[in-house]
């Protein structure tokens, strides 16, 4: 059994710590989230929604039912018990079907802020959500950008991930200042507790942070990663079925939306490239190393995909301050070979190949790189099989 207690607020200088004591099979631990004290009045201590969603995967992973020693949103308890646990077990056969037991229910709408927010990383998806909601009225207008340390800077957290989080946060803060928006940054030890692959749990980690702020946000936009026609429950990445996740994680106080779900990544890249604000701030890089001259390493798959898309759209020159264009050009043909080799399993590359063909940018050299990519992959697979069966002739 996992037992979760009511959260408590502690002041710590200019910050506040929202801590929740919990135990797993008698072993005690604390889940915490750290906020700026400016948002203290909006933090929820009356309901256990945030810690339930944050620790749900701990129950699914260990097969422990979860008992809540305090109120929880009546809607959330119903949706988790009747839909989400079953869906997550269908999506991941390592998870065990568990039950959530609450000692009381919260039927109240706790929202005071009547506003909206969205997660913001300076990436393509978050810029698309930000600009596609400009001009909305209360309570759908984005007043706040959020930024979390719950796994996207390193699956299992720790000091290395925290340093990357702080570095990326500086860039988000600079953009927000120019855009006249406020940033709510949330540090947490959730990753250290879950010790799970980020992609398997990512939507829930972010939703858990935001459920602490239900008094502020009436609406929250979680940028979609995949278009709606790619909805797929048989995927380890929770983003493939965010339409289900987010509607089921909404409560009496807050609505979650999977934003821009009808757009492909190419549509989004094309859309954001209309806005000069993105030219100096676009940050798509997944490379956590520190030694690059530009904001983006211009070699990792995500950098290459974005830069290639921008080039095909005739917009790459506008992003010369965030990509190293020489490094990109040196790697481009090799990357197009990889796009050809992964078009079946990677939806982004499938769309990108369609654009490459439309613009007539595929040539013989790319098929050479394609063959070399396939050969390397086959060699890797053979080595893996030999390693698994070392004694077989
Ligand atoms: Zn990169």
- Residues 303-354 have pLDDT tens digits of 999 999 999 999 999 999 999 999 999 999 999 999 999 988 899 999 999 9
| pLDDT bucket at 235, cuts 50 / 70 / 90 | confident
**Between residues 379 and 245, the one the model is more confident about:** 245
Q: Are residues 245 and 334 in the same domain?
A: no
pLDDT in tens, 277-293: 999 999 998 886 665 56
Domain count, the chain: 2
Centre of ligand 1 from the C-alpha of residue 115, in Å: 34
| pLDDT bucket at 392, cuts 50 / 70 / 90 | low
Centre of ligand 1 from the C-alpha of residue 294, in Å: 10
Centre of ligand 1 from the C-alpha of residue 129, in Å: 22
Q: Are residues 324 and 249 in the same domain?
A: no
pLDDT value of position 379: 86
Centre of ligand 1 from the C-alpha of residue 333, in Å: 16
Q: Are residues 210 and 294 in the same domain?
A: no
Centre of ligand 1 from the C-alpha of residue 48, in Å: 38
Domain of 297 in residue numbering reads as: 265-379
Report whether pLDDT(376) > 90.
no
Q: Are residues 343 and 238 in the same domain?
A: no
pLDDT value of position 156: 72
Exposed / middle / buried, residue 25 (Cβ in 10 Å: 0-12, 13-18, 19+):
exposed
Mean pLDDT over 122-136 rounds to 96
**Is 245 within the bounds of a domain?**
yes
Centre of ligand 1 from the C-alpha of residue 39, in Å: 33
pLDDT value of position 387: 79
Six token digits for residue 106 = 């919260």
**Is 101 within the bounds of a domain?**
yes
Boundary of a domain, candidates 244, 259, 274: 259
pLDDT value of position 378: 86
Centre of ligand 1 from the C-alpha of residue 300, in Å: 4
Q: Are residues 210 and 309 in the same domain?
A: no
| pLDDT bucket at 89, cuts 50 / 70 / 90 | very high
Centre of ligand 1 from the C-alpha of residue 169, in Å: 17
Boundary of a domain, candidates 259, 280, 308: 259
Q: Are residues 26 and 143 in the same domain?
A: yes
- Going by C-alpha positions, the residue among 183, 187, 185 that lies closest to residue 157 is 187
Centre of ligand 1 from the C-alpha of residue 298, in Å: 5
Centre of ligand 1 from the C-alpha of residue 123, in Å: 12
Centre of ligand 1 from the C-alpha of residue 305, in Å: 10
Q: Are residues 141 and 229 in the same domain?
A: yes
Centre of ligand 1 from the C-alpha of residue 304, in Å: 7
Q: Are residues 149 and 61 in the same domain?
A: yes
Centre of ligand 1 from the C-alpha of residue 335, in Å: 13
**Is 392 within the bounds of a domain?**
no
How far, in Å, CA of 237 to CA of 196, rounded? 12
Mean pLDDT over 369-379 rounds to 88
Q: Are residues 368 and 272 in the same domain?
A: yes
Centre of ligand 1 from the C-alpha of residue 132, in Å: 25
Q: Are residues 220 and 299 in the same domain?
A: no
Exposed / middle / buried, residue 332 (Cβ in 10 Å: 0-12, 13-18, 19+):
middle
**Is 54 within the bounds of a domain?**
yes
**Is 128 within the bounds of a domain?**
yes
Boundary of a domain, candidates 259, 275, 308: 259
Centre of ligand 1 from the C-alpha of residue 288, in Å: 8
DSSP string, 171-214: HHHHHHHHHT-EEEEEEESHHHHH---STTTHHHHHHHHHHTTT
Report whether pLDDT(86) > 60.
yes
pLDDT value of position 380: 84
Chain mean pLDDT for the chain: 92
DSSP state letter for 122:
S
Report whether pLDDT(125) > 80.
yes
């Amino acid at each position: 059994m996992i037992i979760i207690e009511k959260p408590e607020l502690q002041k710590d200088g200019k910050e506040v710590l929202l801590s929740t004591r919990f135990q797993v099979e008698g072993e005690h631990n604390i889940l915490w989230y750290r906020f700026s004290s400016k948002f203290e009045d909006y933090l929820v201590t009356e309901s256990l929604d945030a810690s339930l969603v944050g620790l749900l995967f701990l129950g699914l992973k260990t097969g422990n039912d979860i008992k809540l020693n305090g109120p929880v949103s009546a809607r959330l308890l119903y949706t988790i018990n009747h839909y989400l646990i079953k869906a997550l077990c269908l999506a991941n056969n390592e998870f065990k079907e568990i039950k959530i037991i609450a000692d009381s229910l919260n039927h109240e709408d706790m929202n005071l802020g009547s506003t909206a927010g969205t997660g913001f990383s300076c990436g393509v998806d978050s810029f698309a959500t930000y600009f596609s909601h400009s001009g909305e009225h209360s309570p759908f207008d984005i007043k706040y950008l959020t930024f979390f340390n719950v796994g996207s800077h390193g699956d299992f957290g720790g000091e290395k991930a925290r340093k990357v989080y702080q570095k990326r946060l500086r860039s988000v803060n600079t953009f927000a200042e120019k855009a006249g928006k406020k940033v709510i940054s949330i540090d947490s030890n959730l990753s250290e507790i879950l010790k799970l692959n980020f992609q398997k749990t990512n939507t829930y980690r972010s939703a858990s942070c935001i459920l602490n702020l239900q008094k502020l946000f009436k609406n929250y936009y979680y940028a979609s990663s995949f278009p709606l026609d790619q909805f797929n429950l048989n995927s380890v990445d929770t983003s493939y079925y965010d339409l289900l996740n987010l509607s089921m994680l909404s409560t009496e106080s807050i609505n979650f939306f999977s934003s821009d779900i009808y757009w492909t990544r190419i549509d989004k890249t094309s859309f954001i490239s209309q806005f000069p604000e993105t030219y100096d701030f676009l940050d798509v890089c997944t490379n956590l190393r520190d030694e690059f001259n530009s904001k983006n390493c211009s070699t990792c798959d995500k950098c290459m995909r974005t830069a290639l898309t921008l080039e095909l759209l005739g917009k790459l020159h506008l992003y010369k301050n965030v990509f190293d264009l020489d490094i990109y050009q040196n790697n481009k043909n090799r990357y197009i070979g990889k796009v050809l080799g992964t078009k079946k399993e990677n939806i982004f590359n499938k769309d990108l190949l369609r654009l490459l063909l439309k613009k007539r940018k595929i040539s013989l050299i790319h098929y050479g790189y394609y063959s070399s990519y396939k050969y390397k992959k086959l060699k890797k697979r053979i080595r893996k099989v030999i390693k698994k069966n070392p004694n077989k002739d």
